[in-house]
Structure 1
């Protein structure tokens, strides 16, 4: 991903009718590629229907679509080994980890936007 504007445009292009972005953060997603994990730097957006991540690596777009109904846990964690703030989402039993970077919205604003949507199962948000 070249810049934040590219990421926001890519997210906007994937929205469904009547879907709106409520907040977005700049982050890195640790994508599982075969037996290894690769960090994808991109944008995680909270819409009124889902969490949507976009990155572009070597010109190839990468999207991750997480519907709220498939989330069993949404938590904010502090990185113990590598530091920093992380959002960890349990999505259909899979652990999806995002490391927060400054840019776009502040992490606290993003978490509050997700809470305010009230779309995640009761008791699934851990801050």
Structure 2
């Protein structure tokens, strides 16, 4: 088992029930520890609900979570030391550098960009049951927007999108 797979496995207990990892990149996360600049090696996960950084350390772990709705901007670059992903979340700069796996960066970026500024999707059970008094057409259109984002990110095929769209529109 590779290092990234091991870190993803170790991060699983810290994810919410039903939360799915859609992309992952291994790199070094710039942070402050006791007021001093520091770098932690770990994995940045793009889940269906948020971005999560997880690093294993002696006797424990570091975990930081960023809701998609709180992320305001995104930067991607490459240097001699590898690729770098940066974003701002609630006024804090998040920087993951020294990433060597370009396909992983591209997949992470695709998932990330499809969700930036959006709220986390609701679990399927909550989506199926609209709140009492909710406007059914508003709920259907919200679901169609979310489904369109999943299609645009390549998570749902165009055929799956069309089938679900037909089903949702039949509810109106």
Q: Which residue of 2 is the match for residue 109 of structure 1?
A: 107
Residue 83 (structure 2) aligned to one of 65, 82, 85: 85
**Separation of aligned partners in 1, 2:56 and 2:103:** 20
Determine the C-alpha separation between the residues in 1 that align with 2:115 and 2:104: 21
Q: Which residue of 2 aligns with 1:37?
A: 37
Query: What value does the CA root-mean-square deviation take over the aligned residues?
Result: 2.3
The higher relative CO (CA closer than 8 Å, separation ≥ 6) is in: 1
Cα distance in 2 for residues equivalent to 1:90 and 1:33: 19
- SS of equivalent to 1:89: strand
Structure with the greater alpha carbon radius of gyration:
2
For these two proteins, the number of residue pairs brought into alignment is 117
Q: Answer whether contact 2:83 2:102 (CA < 8 A) is retained.
A: no
* SS of residue in 2 equivalent to 1:16: coil
Return the alpha-carbon distance in structure 1 between the equivalents of residues 50 and 56 of structure 2: 20
Q: 1:42 to 1:108 in 2, by over 3 A?
A: same
Establish whether residue 119 from structure 1 lines up as the match of residue 121 from structure 2.
no
Q: Which structure: greater strand fraction?
A: 1
Q: TM-score, normalised by structure 2?
A: 0.60
Q: CA deviation at 1:110?
A: 1.4
- Greater helix share, structure number: 2
CA shift for structure 1 position 9: 1.2
Give ranges in structure 1 of 5+ residues lacking alignment: 123-127
Q: Partner residue of 1:55?
A: 55
Q: What TM-score results when the alignment is normalised by the length of structure 1?
A: 0.79
> 1:100 touches 1:107 (CA, 8 Å); kept in 2?
no
Which residue does 1:66 correspond to in 2? 66
